[in-house]
Structure 1
Amino acid sequence: MSARAVVPVVVVLLTALPVLALCVGQALRASGRRGAPGAPGAPAGTWWRRTALVVVLAVVALTPTVAATQSGGARVGVQVWFVVDRTGSMAAEDWGPGDPVVRGPGLPAVPAVQRLDGVRHDVVQLTRDVPGAFYSVVAFADEAGTQLPLTDDATAVRSWAQTVTQEVTAGSAGTRRDRALEVLQRSLQDAQDRDPGMVRLVFYLSDGEQTADEEPGSFTAIAPLVDGGAVLGYGTAAGAPMRQHDGSLDPDAPYIPDPQDPSRPALSHADEAALREVAAELGVPYVHRDGPTPTADLVADVDVAAIAADGRADLSTHRDLVWPFALVAGVLLAAEAWAWTRSSSRLRGRR
């Protein structure tokens, strides 16, 4: 049991304590006068009854409540998070069905389609595969941030996906696959607190490459907040060059040079082992994406009703428990009125 305190506790205490002290004092004094013939004043029983009335009214003012559970009271649906890698390596041109291109001696012949094009395709397709859901986009490069808060506007998600670009090359500060972890955890926790009945899916889209020296953090801590989804991997182990990006949309921008040999373009190598590790930590499957194939099978096993049957849709509430105390207060007030009526009748009789 707890108190909802419709009347502020301070007000209740400032009002009830002085009256309570008066009633108790009068009751003790009346008890001391017991047996004295003709002793003036109300008897001790009257004052103890008034003491009880003050206590009960104070409890009513504090509004006691008890916890209650409303079965199926929380709204049920699907919330989808797209965690998108926007680092420079996602511009590597080794994804999809593009015509193979040989860019120089010793460089692999690869499709001239960026990994980020694969991300664009998959985000749009997954949005269509999970209609009527709420969607959020968290993107990361040199830092992470929420690009799109939870919204039921699928058009906004598709518009974002179709216009997303890699980070500006000059501002790159190294790649960390856990860069979005803190932002994602906060977003998932807020969503669970606000809508506990929802089913939460997370799709992590990246090539898994890490160039920063720090040890990446684990996604294990947020696994209890995730009901499904997948880690989607892009790129090849052989690697591919990446074009520089200065904020403009120049398709013929120069390639990022190799730090060891500036005369050659740098190659980015996808790290599927790292992506499988992220998938294991999240408790979702890993899927390598090498072309614009359907994505419906990634959400085919999502059964909202079955997942919500774990009790998450039960809404925890509090029910006021005022009536027993109000009933006692009514009885005490009735007794007080009856005693006052008797006393008044005696006074009139003596006159």
Structure 2
Amino acid sequence: MLVVLAGARPGMVGAPAQVATTDLNVFFVVDMTPSSSAEDFNGSAPRLDGMKADILALAGELAGARFSLISFDSSAKVVLPLTTDATALTTLTEILTPSSAMVSKGSSISVAKDLLSQRLAAAQEAHPERPRLVYYLGDGEQTSGSSPEPFTSAAQLTDGGAVLGYGTAAGGKMRDYTFGSDKPGSYIRDKANGYQSAVSTIDETQLQAIAGQLKVPYVHRESPAGISAALAKSAPTVVSSPAGTEDGAGRWELYWLFALAAFGILLWEAADLTRSWRQLQRHGNERHGKEEAR
């Protein structure tokens, strides 16, 4: 019974715990314009599927870092502030949905630059010792009437990362996700082309320009495989390191009390059996001596 209780690992919360962390702040900037639904990733999958897979793969490679998720279409918003909660990142990434084509009025690939700069500056002020990585995920297609603005301010606060490009030169047709990710509609039509299915193509020149501004490499992503190579090119400058102890984050383990009691009983039983065996041996010797005397 004592062994069973020890195996149940009883304990109390509140003990200090050694905390290990990856001292990185990682920002994902994700293109959510209708073109993210273009079906030319890994053959015929939507580009957003590739972006989601890469975000989760990068988060797995950088486990323990703090992650933030910023999405953009005609405007930018913080979907997830910096957090170590990998479950929250996974959940919010999985429910990302391309913006509605019905309300889309054109978008700029640099619309997230000011918001990104603000979040990077806040992270630097809070923890200046932690390098900041930026992963920009998009297709580079500029649909607004103006030229994209440079990521000048963000570049000064970025220590690494990568620009990840999705799509092909041939392009892919886009479905309308006005009614949610689980109910993709018909293909978006191009009014300027006789209402034929609209086709979105990647603009790697624009993506490479963003990479140059942020001083990070550009990586074209054509399939879910090979994210380790993209991570290696992003050159994060800090690896996992111990961060001391955190009060109340651990448990006071009590299983050893039951294990010690079980060990004590085992010793007592062993001593008792040894004593009984010696007594039997002594009685046997005495009986054998009496028989020889006869």
TM-score, normalisation: structure 2: 0.71
Mark the CA change 1:250 to 1:304 in structure 2 (over 3 Å): closer, same or farther.
Answer: closer
Q: Quick one: which amino acid aligns to residue 79 of structure 2?
A: Q
Is residue 17 of structure 2 the alignment partner of residue 85 of structure 1? no
Q: Percent identity?
A: 40
Mark the CA change 1:241 to 1:76 in structure 2 (over 3 Å): closer, same or farther.
Answer: closer
Please point out which of 190, 214, 219 is paired with 1:282: 214
Q: Which residue of 2 aligns with 1:32?
A: none
Please point out which of 196, 201, 208 is paired with 1:264: 196
Is residue 88 of structure 2 the alignment partner of residue 156 of structure 1? yes
Please point out which of 47, 51, 55 is paired with 1:119: 51
**In structure 2, the residue corresponding to 1:128 is in which secondary structure?**
helix
Q: Which residue of 1 aligns with 2:180?
A: 248
Cα RMSD (Å): 1.9
1:1-351 equivalence runs, <5 A = 77-96=23-42, 111-249=43-181, 253-300=185-232, 301-304=235-238
Tell me, which stretches of 5 or more residues in structure 2 are unaligned?
1-20, 242-294
Does the CA contact (< 8 Å) of 1:85 and 1:205 recur in 2?
yes
Q: Distance in 2 between matches of 1:76 and 1:155?
A: 17
Does the CA contact (< 8 Å) of 1:242 and 1:255 recur in 2?
yes
Does the CA contact (< 8 Å) of 1:95 and 1:112 recur in 2?
yes
Mark the CA change 1:252 to 1:81 in structure 2 (over 3 Å): closer, same or farther.
Answer: closer
Query: What's the CA shift for 1:157?
Result: 0.8
Give a deviation string over 1:198-248, Cα, whole Å, max 9, x none.
Answer: 011000000000011112110122212111100000001111110112123
Query: What's the CA shift for 1:262?
Result: 3.9
Q: Distance in 1 between matches of 2:197 and 2:22?
A: 50
Query: What's the CA shift for 1:251?
Result: 5.3
Query: What's the CA shift for 1:298?
Result: 3.0
TM-score, normalisation: structure 1: 0.60
Q: Which residue of 2 aligns with 1:4?
A: none
Query: What's the CA shift for 1:294?
Result: 2.9
Q: Which residue of 2 aligns with 1:108?
A: none
**In structure 2, the residue corresponding to 1:142 is in which secondary structure?**
coil
Q: Distance in 2 between matches of 1:171 and 1:148?
A: 24
Which structure: larger Rg? Answer: 1
Mark the CA change 1:226 to 1:255 in structure 2 (over 3 Å): closer, same or farther.
Answer: same
Q: Quick one: which amino acid aligns to residue 203 of structure 2?
A: D
Deviating more after overlay: 79-88 vs 246-255: 246-255
Q: Distance in 1 between matches of 2:47 and 2:22?
A: 34
Aligned residues: 219
